[in-house]
Amino acid sequence: MGRYWKLVVLVTGIVVVLGTFFIQTTLANLALPEFDIKKVTGDLAEIDPVIINGYYEDRIVWSDMWITSKETVHLNERSFFERMNDLQFHSPLVQDLYKNNRSFLRGKNFYSGTFIENDEQITYVSLPWDQTNDTAVQVEIAILDKQSKEETLFQLDIPNGEKYFYLYLEQVIVRDDELHIAASVSPHFDDEEMHVYSIDLAKQTVTHDTLISDQDSYLQTYVDDDQPTFLVFEKNLYQEVEESHSEFVDKQLMYMDLATKEVVNLDLPFELDEDKIVHLENDTLYLLSLAEKQLMIEGFNLVTEEVLEKTIDMPLLSNVTINNYVMALSGQKVYLTRSNPNENRGAPITVIDFLTENMLFEGTIEPKQEIGNHYKLTFYNMNVRN
């Protein structure tokens, strides 16, 4: 027996760790509430594609979760082995993509901007793991033809890649037979540029390298996935006023015509406040903002230069401000809820067609059971399944 004491200790330790895990999980799950989306007016089906990400916390347990019209999923309810699976930390949108294309996507990571799906194909763009600073920066492109199930895989050197310290994928777009990769690259340790690399998929070559910005600023990208004609860039400039503190200085908007590769700086007839939400739909760029019980919409058509301005009353959103709401946009629909719901009174949730001004759904997100007053519920993101 003395010869096996180390094995006995090891096995005992594993049993204790796993036993403690399962006991804690069981006790925690008893305290994890479920939430329901209740209708006030409108069509409940409008909420079916919505996924609300948040976390729940009380005196006993803390858990990441997501809420849909059909279920509440707490990550703490997942098994030990499910928690070992990296896929669980991604949204249901990504999980659905993986489950429906398991063979093609096995072994691929799913961080934002690395894949795009349309009716014909799935295109996945990644960075080879063996890149070093003294080799050309490369991208790896994998394509699955949905109809034939044929897979294509190739690697390309990024133009002037040997000059860059790193490359970060921001956006991937497929238009006709062209792939466009918006990427942040760093030619120096403390500098950053934004480029769009256009790739002929048939010839597997980089045809254009378009410089969008060579300023160290915060850039976001927007595209209409159903009609990828333009790629819009939002540049927010900040000025450091104290150590570890900066103030907003300016917002700039520009777009790239994906067909001609022309980059145009926009001079809009609107105030470009920091908090305005940018959205691109059918060649029109929209700026959305929220004030007390009102949604304000400003639009600018990139082709005709037509201007749109309107205000929509939203009485259910009382006391919802720019600082305490979560917004998602899909097509011409706006989805809104509070980021910090009231205890036991739930959070208002609204779906509105911001072009027709039709209120499609109004409701509340409420706990299914009484959960007391000593808890904190926070929503931090909302996705809409296409």
Tens-place pLDDT, residues 237-264: 877 777 667 777 788 999 999 999 999 9
pLDDT, mean of residues 43-51: 93
Q: How far apart are the C-alpha atoms of 293 and 290, rounded to whole Å?
A: 8
Which pLDDT value is given to residue 3?
Answer: 56
Per-residue pLDDT reduced to its tens digit, 166-210 = 888 888 999 988 999 999 888 766 678 899 999 999 999 999 999
* pLDDT beyond 80 at 308: yes
Closest CA to 175 of 109, 91, 104, 256: 256
Q: How far apart are the C-alpha atoms of 345 and 368, rounded to whole Å?
A: 11
Task: Determine which of 59-73, 284-298, 365-379 has the lowest per-residue pLDDT on average.
Answer: 365-379
- Classified as helix, coil or strand, 309 is strand
Per-residue pLDDT reduced to its tens digit, 354-373 = 989 899 999 999 888 777 66
Residue 83's pLDDT band (cuts 50, 70, 90): low
Burial group, residue 272, by CB count within 10 angstroms (0-12, 13-18, 19+): middle
Closest CA to 312 of 328, 336, 331: 336
* pLDDT beyond 80 at 33: yes
* pLDDT beyond 70 at 296: yes
Which has more pLDDT, 53 or 322? 53
* pLDDT beyond 50 at 378: yes
* pLDDT beyond 80 at 375: no
The pTM score is 0.79
Long-range interactions of 193-197: CB distance < 8 A, separation 24+: 194/170, 194/219, 194/233, 196/231, 196/256, 196/261, 197/139, 197/158, 197/159
* pLDDT beyond 90 at 154: yes
Which residues, in sequence order, are bridge partners of residue 337?
Answer: 326, 349
* pLDDT beyond 50 at 113: no
Whole-Å CA distances, 142 to 27, 75, 155, 295, 348: 44, 31, 9, 41, 42
Give me the percent of the chain exceeding a pLDDT of 90.
32
Long-range interactions of 271-277: CB distance < 8 A, separation 24+: 274/236, 274/248, 275/322, 276/251, 277/327, 277/329
* Mean pLDDT computed over every residue of the chain: 81
